């Protein structure tokens, strides 16, 4: 049965005898109507997503649907308790975008405890303790989504025994404690999102995180994580999105992150407490969006500029500080454009030109004012220039 994306209203169509006790119905009518959908013993798939169903679900009659493997009631206005192991053969269950307030703990004696592969309970009003909720999480689960709820407490050690887990998202809750190890998920975990916690995870980033060689998305933004970024994260060559924004991370950004060039498309490190220079290797992340904006960081108090390659967007797609005149001086960018447009690689003398950190006032043939802020003379006579002048030369 597929009735998704309609305007169906009323309660979920499973009834018990007490629904009929308030009205007078012939016994024959009750025999035909009892249990509603629960009469369909051979039903394999039920999709009622994106309708206007309200009220609670009575789960007990549904336990008789031994063939049901796909159950989707997402995008309605259902409330009350949520039972993710609603039938004995269930593989896929989606309760997302409703008004459920609690999730029944997973029971090992239920047959679907072994069969469940996909579970989405995100965007509800669930207020469970995470330790109780996930203590007996189904061992064969592959995708688990519980974001945008009010789940609190710390994550249990049972998450270390999920050998098939590929996606785990509990972002936008109220979780606390240390980050889970996911020890048995090293070969399978591809997406991990624990961002935006009201209370926030604490502690440091596990040093052995690099062992997750299948991980593509790692989002730990908006927590209270401390300490440095482990350099070995540069070994996670499958990583496409890496977001540690809005934490309490310190020390220098490791240059080893540049080893993720070719795979990483989003690097978010905003609003931490990093010190030192921005590594030039970050500018080698082809096609990546790099977000480092943070006035809490000492970059704003340093006399050093950001690496030239990062400021000129030669490789990266976006750098959120590219227009900051202190970190990315306009005249340095203009001189870089001049170099490329006049085939600087063929010049007779290009000493210091395009050096990632050397001030442009120290590039061969460039003279600046006494404050070392503005170019007052550019002398490149008899130096093998060719090509054409860049438009940005007008910024000098």
Give tens-digit pLDDT for 187-216.
Answer: 899 999 999 999 999 999 998 899 999 999
Look-up of token digits 């976006």 = 318
**Nearest Cα to 75, choosing from 90, 103, 94, 102?**
94
Backbone angles phi, psi at 319, to 5 degrees: -135, 115
Tell me the pLDDT band of 298, cut-offs 50, 70 and 90: low
Q: Which of 8-17, 56-65, 286-295, 354-363 has the highest mean pLDDT?
A: 354-363
* Percentage of the chain lying above the pLDDT 70 cut: 92
What integer is the mean pLDDT of 127-153? 95
Q: Band of the pLDDT at 30, cuts 50, 70, 90? A: very low
Q: Given a cut of 60, is residue 226 above it in pLDDT?
A: yes
pLDDT at 283 over 70: yes
How far is the C-alpha of 90 from the C-alpha of 113, rounded, in Å? Answer: 9
pLDDT beyond 50 at 144: yes
- In this prediction, residues 53-61 reach a mean pLDDT of 90
| HEC readout, the chain | CECCCCCCEEECCCCCHHHHCCCCCCHHHHHHHCCHHHHCCCCCEEECCCCEEEECCCCHHHHHCCCCCEEECCCCEEEEEECCCCCCCCCEEECCCCEEEEECCCCCCCCHHHHCCEEECCCCCCCCEHHHHHCCCCCCCCEEECCCCCCEECCCHHHHHCCCCCEEECCCCEECCCCCCCHHHCCCCCEEECCCCCCCCCCECCHHHHHCCCCCEEECCCCCCEECCCHHHHHCCCCCEEECCCCEEEECCCHHHHHHCCCCCEEECCCCEECCCCCHHHHHCCCCEEECCCCCCHHHHCCCCCCHHHHCCCCCCEECCCCCCCCCCHHHHHHHHHHHHCCHHHCCCCCCCCCCCCCHHHCCCEEECCCCCCEEEECCCCCCCCCCCCHHHHHC
* Mean per-residue pLDDT, 146-162: 92
Tell me, what's the pLDDT at 276? Answer: 86
Dist CA 215 CA 86 (whole Å): 31
Cα separation, 349 vs 215, in Å, equals: 46
Q: Does the pLDDT at position 299 exceed 50?
A: yes
pLDDT at residue 61 tops 90: no
Higher pLDDT, 335 or 41: 335
Q: Model confidence over 64-95: pLDDT tens digits?
A: 889 999 999 999 999 999 999 999 999 999 99
**In this predicted structure, which of 18-27, 30-39, 52-61, 385-394 has the lowest mean pLDDT?**
18-27
Query: How large is the average pLDDT for residues 307-333?
Result: 90
Residue 80 and residue 100 in contact, taking contact as beta carbons nearer than 8 Å = yes
Q: pLDDT at position 236, please?
A: 95
Res 371 pLDDT > 80: yes
How far apart CA 169 and CA 361 sit, in angstroms, is 49
Give residue 204's pLDDT: 94
Query: What mean pLDDT is predicted for residues 139-167?
Result: 94
pLDDT at position 20 over 50 = no
* Token output for 226: 């401390």
pLDDT, mean over the chain: 90
The residue-averaged pLDDT of 215-241 equals 96
Residue with tokens 């189904």: 138
Mean pLDDT, residues 307-330 taken together: 90
């Amino acid at each position: 049965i597929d009735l998704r994306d309609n305007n169906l209203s009323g309660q979920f169509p499973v009834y018990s005898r007490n629904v009929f006790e308030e009205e007078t119905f012939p016994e024959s009518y009750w025999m035909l109507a009892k249990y509603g959908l629960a009469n369909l013993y051979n039903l394999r798939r039920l999709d009622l997503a994106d309708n206007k169903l309200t009220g609670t679900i009575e789960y007990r009659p549904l336990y008789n649907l031994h063939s049901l493997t796909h159950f989707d009631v997402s995008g309605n206005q259902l409330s009350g308790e949520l039972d993710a192991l609603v039938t004995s053969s269930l593989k896929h269950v989606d309760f997302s975008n409703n008004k459920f307030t609690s999730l029944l703990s997973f029971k090992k004696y239920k047959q679907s405890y072994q069969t469940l592969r996909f579970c989405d309970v995100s965007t509800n009003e669930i207020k469970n303790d995470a330790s109780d909720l996930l203590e007996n999480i189904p061992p064969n689960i592959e995708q688990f989504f519980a974001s945008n709820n009010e789940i609190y407490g710390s994550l249990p050690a049972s998450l270390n025994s999920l050998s098939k887990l590929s996606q785990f998202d509990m972002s936008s809750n109220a979780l606390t404690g240390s980050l889970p190890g996911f020890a048995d998920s090293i070969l399978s975990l591809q997406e991990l999102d624990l961002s935006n916690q009201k209370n926030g995870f604490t502690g440091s980033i596990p040093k052995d995180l690099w062992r997750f060689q299948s991980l593509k998305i790692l989002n730990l933004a908006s927590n209270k994580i401390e300490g440095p970024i482990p350099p070995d994260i540069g070994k996670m060559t499958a990583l496409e999105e890496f977001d540690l924004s809005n934490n309490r991370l310190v020390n220098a950004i490791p240059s080893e992150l540049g080893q993720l060039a070719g795979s990483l498309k989003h690097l978010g490190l905003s609003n931490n407490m990093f010190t030192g220079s921005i590594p030039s290797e970050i500018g080698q992340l082809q096609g990546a969006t790099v977000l480092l904006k943070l006035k809490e960081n000492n970059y704003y108090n340093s006399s050093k500029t950001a690496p030239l390659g990062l400021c000129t967007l030669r490789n990266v797609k976006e750098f959120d500080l590219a227009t900051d005149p202190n970190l990315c001086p306009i005249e340095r960018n203009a001189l870089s454009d001049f170099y490329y447009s006049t085939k600087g690689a063929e010049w007779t003398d290009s000493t210091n030109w395009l050096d990632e950190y050397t001030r442009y006032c120290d590039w061969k043939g460039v003279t600046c004012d006494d404050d070392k802020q503005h170019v007052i003379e550019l002398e490149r006579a008899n130096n093998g220039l060719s090509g054409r002048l860049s438009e940005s030369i007008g910024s000098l």
